């Protein structure tokens, strides 16, 4: 009987895929399956997947025409059989007890959503990101932390979900930042959330990949996802209004930074819109992390130079 289905969307991930799949093959939890959804890869990803499927009966491979990560995840949900679902990115990897500990927490505390800590793996330097304590967490505390910190995160990959949460929810096809569009909808259907205060997931950050993939469509989706999330939280948890305003300030700072790194500067409609937002909502800068606060001041005082500095930095 399959308890947990791990869904891995794959697109030209051959360089990193073996490490990811080896970490899943080495899980200490036996009642699981690994659903590999190849989103039209043209590299060696298919060969790697088929090799693992031959060696491990719990691995299942499906190929589809390219439609994006959301489309691949939706297909993975359709093909899966587990009571619980986990989503692992194909260029990341996990601790051998990743599934076991999340599943145990979900069943022991009757939680439909379980989150764990993770390592931010950047240039082979690992930074531990963990919520301070394990156990049940209230929805207000959960969203307060998601809005203001990074230990839980507004993403899917360090979490385990009860399958029924997806009965009426799908990932948005054709949109960037699909995690941000989706997590709050799942939370709204959830009855309990738990935390495992251990780093069990390794998120591999590749800045060049982020820069190359960020354009005007990405900027629109990032801000749209943030606005939808904050509209939901203001309605359900009005006591978090201040955190929502600071979160949107941060999202606009991120947008200016990312567009600048991609070579999109001032006099661009989206770049200017985010800079205008920062200026109009300047009072909400208080309480931001230092790196965002410094960026906000520079965007306010020397916007054009700041944009060019970001562009030059990434190309050194």
Domain co-membership, 182 together with 293: no
User: Model pTM?
Assistant: 0.94
> What percent of the chain clears pLDDT 70, i.e. is strictly above it?
97
Look up the domain containing 35 and give its range: 4-205
Domain co-membership, 227 together with 142: no
Domain co-membership, 110 together with 196: yes
Last residue of a domain, one of 171, 205, 239: 205
Last residue of a domain, one of 205, 227, 244: 205
Span 181-234, pLDDT tens digits: 999 999 999 999 999 999 999 999 876 565 456 778 889 999 999 999 999 999
> Which of these, 201, 188, 273, lies nearest to 229 by C-alpha position?
188
The number of C-alpha atoms within 13 Å of 8 and in the hemisphere containing its C-beta is 32
Domain co-membership, 305 together with 198: no
**CATH code for position 193:** 3.90.550.10
Last residue of a domain, one of 150, 172, 205: 205
Span 1-52, pLDDT tens digits: 899 999 999 999 999 999 999 999 999 999 999 999 999 999 999 999 999 9
Number of domains in the chain: 2
């Amino acid at each position: 009987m399959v308890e947990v289905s791990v869904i891995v969307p794959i697109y030209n991930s051959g360089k990193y895929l073996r490490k990811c799949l080896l970490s899943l093959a080495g899980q200490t939890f036996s009642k699981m399956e690994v659903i590999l959804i190849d989103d039209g890869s043209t590299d060696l990803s298919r060969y790697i997947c088929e090799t693992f499927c031959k060696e491990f009966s719990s691995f299942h491979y499906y190929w589809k025409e390219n439609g994006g990560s959301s489309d691949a995840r939706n297909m993975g949900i359709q093909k899966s059989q587990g009571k619980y679902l986990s989503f692992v990115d194909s260029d990341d990897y996990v601790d051998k007890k990743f599934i076991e500990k999340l599943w145990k927490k979900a069943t022991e505390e009757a939680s439909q959503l379980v989150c764990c800590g993770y390592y931010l793996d950047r240039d082979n330097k690992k930074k531990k990101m963990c919520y301070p304590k394990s156990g049940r967490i209230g929805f207000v505390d959960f969203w307060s932390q998601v809005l203001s910190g990074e230990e839980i995160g507004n993403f899917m990959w360090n979490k385990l979900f009860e399958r029924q949460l997806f009965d009426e929810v799908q990932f948005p096809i054709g949109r960037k930042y699909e995690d941000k569009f989706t997590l709050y909808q799942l939370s709204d259907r959830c009855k309990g959330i738990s935390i495992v205060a251990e780093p069990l997931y390794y998120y591999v950050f590749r800045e060049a990949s982020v820069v190359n993939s960020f354009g005007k469509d990405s900027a629109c989706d990032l801000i749209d996802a943030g606005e939808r999330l904050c509209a939901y939280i203001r309605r359900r948890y009005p006591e978090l209004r201040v955190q929502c305003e600071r979160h949107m300030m941060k999202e606009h700072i991120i947008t200016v930074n990312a567009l600048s790194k991609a070579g999109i500067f001032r006099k661009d409609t989206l770049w200017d819109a985010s800079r205008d937002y920062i200026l109009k909502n300047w009072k909400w800068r208080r309480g931001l992390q230092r790196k965002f606060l410094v960026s906000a001041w520079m965007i306010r005082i020397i916007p054009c130079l700041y944009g060019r500095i970001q562009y030059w930095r990434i190309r050194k």
